[in-house]
Amino acid sequence: MQIIRELALLREAIASLRNGGKGGGRNRIALVPTMGALHDGHLSLIDEARARADHAVASIFVNPRQFGANEDLDKYPRNEARDVALLTARGCDLLWSPGVEEVYPHGFATSISVSGVSEGLCGGARPGHFDGVATVVAKLFNQVRPDVAVFGEKDYQQLAVIRRMARDLDFDIEIVGVPTRRDADGLALSSRNAYLTGEERQAALALPRALEQASARISGGGNVGAALDEARASLAAAGFDPIDYVELRDAETLAIVTSAQRPARLLAAAKIGRTRLIDNIEVKSNQ
């Protein structure tokens, strides 16, 4: 696997990967953007990328513009050697791992803001977060110029923001969402799970369980407000504090909905100890 840190070299490498397709055609490239600290969820995205294109490219960049002033940028887990070994074993062709100055050179003054889908939920709890996400992903799209970009559904609002941005800015890129990977006990895989103590890790299971119970209740025609209240109470009883949100949203637009008359998504974010966890689950239409 090639490891590239300079944009000029990246463009040369991407051009080389594109050449030599079957019958002399153009090879397809799929991009998996990450911030490193890779786990099986990330590796499932590499598998999807390889299935959809001739070459899989991963990026590792801990993006300072999507961290707030009091968030965990400095403590965010970094282990490039381990990440490289995992990507190589999974058949990734190229790793784009630039430094901050390569992505945001001196004088960088541009920001991308995606209204609507970025509002509320994590956008409300983390002001400016999705501006940072949209800006860096747009840069990655222009740097790698993939045919396909693959993201996990665990960060569901992020996926919605990227889809909206790609449509609005006419990126000719297929945006693919991959279902959330979970441990055997149901907890969604996340780089931040490494922060949890053993006791917190067990208590965190209340999050997927509360969402599953609320989803089943809503899909069965139960009262949405009561289902959400019950989920919040379950999280509080397990020790989550604060609970940023537990909400039912339209699966496409992320508009607030009060019934499951069309496909919806149940989304939650809350802190257990010092670790903020997010999760979401599909709510099937009951019509």
pLDDT at site 25: 77
Kindly list the domain boundaries of the chain, sorted by start residue.
Answer: 2-178, 191-281
Catalytic residue among 39, 42, 55, 129: 42
Whole-number average pLDDT of the chain: 95
Rounded CA gap, 214 and 216, in Å? Answer: 5
The predicted-structure confidence for 12-42, as pLDDT tens digits, reads as follows: 999 999 997 666 679 999 999 999 999 999 9
- Classify domain 191-281 by CATH number: 3.30.1300.10
Q: Which CATH class is domain 2-178?
A: alpha beta
Q: How confident is the model at residue 231 (pLDDT cuts 50, 70, 90)?
A: very high
The pTM of the full predicted model, rounded to 2 decimals, is: 0.94
The predicted-structure confidence for 144-201, as pLDDT tens digits, reads as follows: 999 999 999 999 999 999 999 999 999 999 999 999 999 999 999 999 999 999 999 9
Torsion from C-alpha of 5, 6, 9, 11, nearest 10 degrees: 100
Starting at the earlier edge strand, list the strands of the sheet with 94-96.
2-4, 94-96, 55-60, 29-34, 148-152, 174-178
Q: Is 42 a catalytic residue?
A: yes
The predicted-structure confidence for 113-139, as pLDDT tens digits, reads as follows: 999 999 999 999 899 999 999 999 999
